[in-house]
A and B are shown apart, each in its own frame.
Chain A
Amino acid sequence: MIMLEIKGLNVAYDKVQVLWDVSFNINEGEIVTLLGSNGAGKSTTVKTIQGLLKSRSGSIRFMDKSIGGLPAYKVVAAGISLVPEGREIFPKMSVLENLILGAYVPRARAKDLRDESLDWVFKLFPKLEERKKQLAGTMSGGEQQMLAIARALMSKPKLLMLDEPSLGLAPVLVLQVFDIIKKLNEEGVTILLVEQNVHHALGLSDRAYVLEKGRTILEGKGFELLSDKYVKEAYLGM
């Protein structure tokens, strides 16, 4: 069943158009990766889905409802959560406060639901429970990334979008992040992954789309794209 359907999306910053007629879809339960070189428009795409940017034209449908043009807080309430690029956290708040903010939407805020979600994310990220009281800004880069993911989960998303979650992490941590993504998916969370770490991402994904200069130019099964000539040349340097 199609969970998210993007059709003919055109997005511009002021006068500079950066997304051209972008279309793709994500089925319930899938992990889909969005590949593309720097400046291809990946972040723009996920921000537009989240409601942080307005599209010029095109449609965004989520669980059979149009969410195009809705403000971000309504998109979160509908069940989409974003882990933005570059570990954006609330640095002067404690880890716990960060997580509580993650459960801000009506769907997730009830005390018992929130405690349940806390248990869930603490099980996924035991380190965060130890660091509960620490100021988020004083944690290491890797821990902050874990917090950013955990916080996005606090809203109990049906679709989780991660914008380059492995960026700047040590190899061990990269593996850990991909493990977590896999685990989440097995627990029923549908995933849209933006990645430059092509090998790992494609190995994990059901399907992937390649975005170039703001256009979707390729689509395929994860492992198929790994052996695709274009992808090999452009991203794997082979």
Chain B
Amino acid sequence: MKLDRINIKTGIGIVSLILAFIVPVILGINQYLLTVLIITLVFIIYSSAWNLLALSGQASLGHAAFFGIGGYVSAIITNSLGLPPIVAIFVGGFFAAFIGILIGFTCIRMREWFLAMVTFGFAIIAHTITTELPWLTGGWDGIPAKRLISVTITNYIMYEYYIMLLIAVAVVVIIYQLTKSRMGLALEAIRENELEAKVMGINVTKYKLMAFAVSAFFTGIAGALEIHHFGYITPEVYGMDISFWPIIYSISGGLFTIGGPILGTIVITFIWEILRTFGLMYERFILIGVILILIVIFLPRGLVSIPEKIKRSHP
């Protein structure tokens, strides 16, 4: 029984992946649709990264900090050193990871709410520092960022889409492998019972920091990808909403799972966009709120648990 459940999920995964690859072919180069898909991919990377940290029992409320740091570092070095964005995003990721380790150190002995507050405060600090350094960051106005693919190239949006898709697939595969590795087992043990994890001989400090580093790394890459898509970066990348989206996506899709952040990002983003095309600019906040509450009440393990739910009600 467990086997065919896995098969259903793998099947859905493979079909969606094929769909993702042929979307531009079947629907044509639709600028609007591809833009939405690109942002969806960015947030799939971001939410998966946030979820990896959550897996270790560390719920960050300030991940926008890493998102923004990755973005700013990447923008600044492409502008000043002339590095191509596709290389610079990794530098942005490494820088975010480095800061992530420092934040991780301050959080090592903190539990739940304290850790949440530290990360939350950290996003505010990152925002303040950025606005206070106009010579480097452009202050409140931000700075331009080189496009991932130059807009002068025909169908640049399609190339951008495929690059994002490849990176997103790679990130998800890496995170999947990590959760299946000894590290994943250790993180899960730490989340369930930290004292016990220590007694088992797990180096808790090391794994918590690793979770922070890897999570911040991919979050930084996601931030860099987004701003190289938009072509500019402003301190808005540190916004509270940017910190909360990955949490919303992960919880609605299924916390601590691989499919959860992916499914949550896709479903919520599409509902969000559909509401917008109906002209519901502000009402959609309320509707999304209602949807989230319904999911949490009726599907506490998220959208990924739907197949199991159906199976249980129709055995």
A82 to B199 CA separation, bound complex (whole angstroms) = 7
Q: Cβ of A84 and Cβ of B201 under 8 Å apart?
A: no
Main secondary structure of the interface of B (DSSP, over half): helix
Shortest beta-carbon distance from A92 to chain B in Å? 6
B200 touches A101 (CB 8 A): yes
Q: Which of A7-15, A69-77, A228-236 contacts B (4 or more CB under 8 A)?
A: A69-77
Stretch at the interface among B28-36, B74-82, B185-193, B279-287: B185-193
Cβ of A51: which chain B residues have Cβ within 8 Å of it? Answer: 198
Are A104 and B196 neighbours in the complex by a CB distance under 8 Å? no
Residues of A within 8 A of B185 (CB): 97, 100-101, 104
If A88-B195, A90-B189, A93-B192 touch, whether A71 touches B203 (CB-CB below 8 Å) is yes
Contacting pair A84 B199 (CB below 8 A): yes
Interface residues of A (CB under 8 A from B): 50-52, 71-73, 76-77, 81-82, 84, 88-93, 97, 100-102, 104-105, 109, 151-152, 155
Interface residues on B, range: 10 to 19
For chain B residues 215-260, which have a beta carbon within 8 Å of chain A?
Answer: none
Q: Which residue of B lies closest to A148 (CB)?
A: B196
The reply to whether A50 and B199 form a contact with Cβ atoms under 8 Å apart is: yes
Contact B189 A52, beta carbon cutoff 8 Å:
no
Whose C-beta in chain B lies nearest to the C-beta of A107? Answer: B201
**Residue from A73, A88, A100, A109 within 8 A of B196 (CB atoms):** A88
Point out residues on B near A: beta carbons under 8 Å: 182, 185-186, 188-189, 192-193, 195-205
- For residue B197, which residues in chain A have a CB less than 8 angstroms away from its CB? 101
Interface centre among A50, A82, A101 (most CB of B within 10 A): A101
8 example contacts (A-B, Cβ-Cβ < 8 A) are as follows A72-B199, A77-B201, A90-B188, A91-B193, A92-B192, A100-B185, A105-B200, A155-B200
Which chain A positions have C-beta within 8 A of B199? 50, 52, 72, 76, 81-82, 84, 88, 152
* Residues of B contacting A71 in the complex (Cβ-Cβ under 8 angstroms): 198, 203, 205
Min CB distance B201 to A, Å, is: 3
Contacts of B193 in A (CB 8 A): 88-91
Known: A73-B201, A100-B185. A90 touches B192 (CB 8 A): yes
Among residues of B, the one whose C-beta sits closest to the C-beta of A136 is B192
Question: Which residues on the A side are within 8 Å of B198 (C-beta)?
Answer: 51-52, 71-73
Q: Name, among B199, B203, B205, the residue most crowded by chain A CB atoms within 10 Å (CB to CB).
A: B199
Q: Give, as a whole number of angstroms, the nearest-CB distance from B194 to chain A.
A: 10
User: What residues on B are CB-neighbors of A155 within 8 Å?
Assistant: 200-201
CA of A8 to CA of B185 in the docked complex: distance in angstroms? Answer: 38
Tell me the smallest distance from the CB of A228 to a CB of chain B, in Å: 33
* CA A3 to CA B172, docked complex, whole Å: 48
In the complex the two chains form, what is the Cα distance from A104 to B186 in whole Å?
Answer: 9
Interface pairs A-B: 6 shortest CB-CB: A76-B201, A105-B201, A72-B198, A90-B192, A73-B203, A73-B201
Q: How far is the CB of B5 from chain A (nearest CB, A)?
A: 15
Expressed in whole angstroms, the Cα–Cα distance for A91 and B189 within the complex equals 10
Q: Whole-angstrom distance from the CB of B264 to the nearest CB of chain A?
A: 21
Residues from chain B with a CB closer than 8 A to the CB of A82 are 199
Please name all residues of chain B whose beta carbon is closer than 8 Å to the beta carbon of A92 when the two chains form the complex.
Answer: 192
Which chain A residues border B201 with CB–CB below 8 Å?
A: 72-73, 76-77, 104-105, 155
Distance A97 CA – B192 CA, assembled complex (angstroms): 12
Task: Give the docked Cα–Cα distance between A81 and B198 (Å).
Answer: 11
> Residue A84 contacts which of B186, B188, B196, B204 (CB distance < 8 angstroms)?
B196
- Given A71-B203, A84-B199, A109-B182, 17 additional A-B pairs, CB 8 A: A51-B198, A52-B195, A52-B198, A71-B198, A71-B205, A72-B198, A73-B203, A77-B201, A84-B196, A90-B188, A91-B193, A93-B189, A93-B192, A102-B200, A104-B182, A105-B201, A155-B200
Closest to A76 in B: B201
B196 touches A90 (CB 8 A): yes
**Does A101 contact B189, Cβ atoms closer than 8 Å?**
yes
Cα separation A89 to B196 with both chains bound (whole Å): 7
Query: Are the C-beta atoms of A93 and B186 separated by less than 8 Å?
Result: no
Query: For residue B192, which residue of chain A has the nearest CB?
Result: A90
> In the complex, A90→B185 CA distance in Å?
12
Bound: A91/B204 CA distance, A:
19
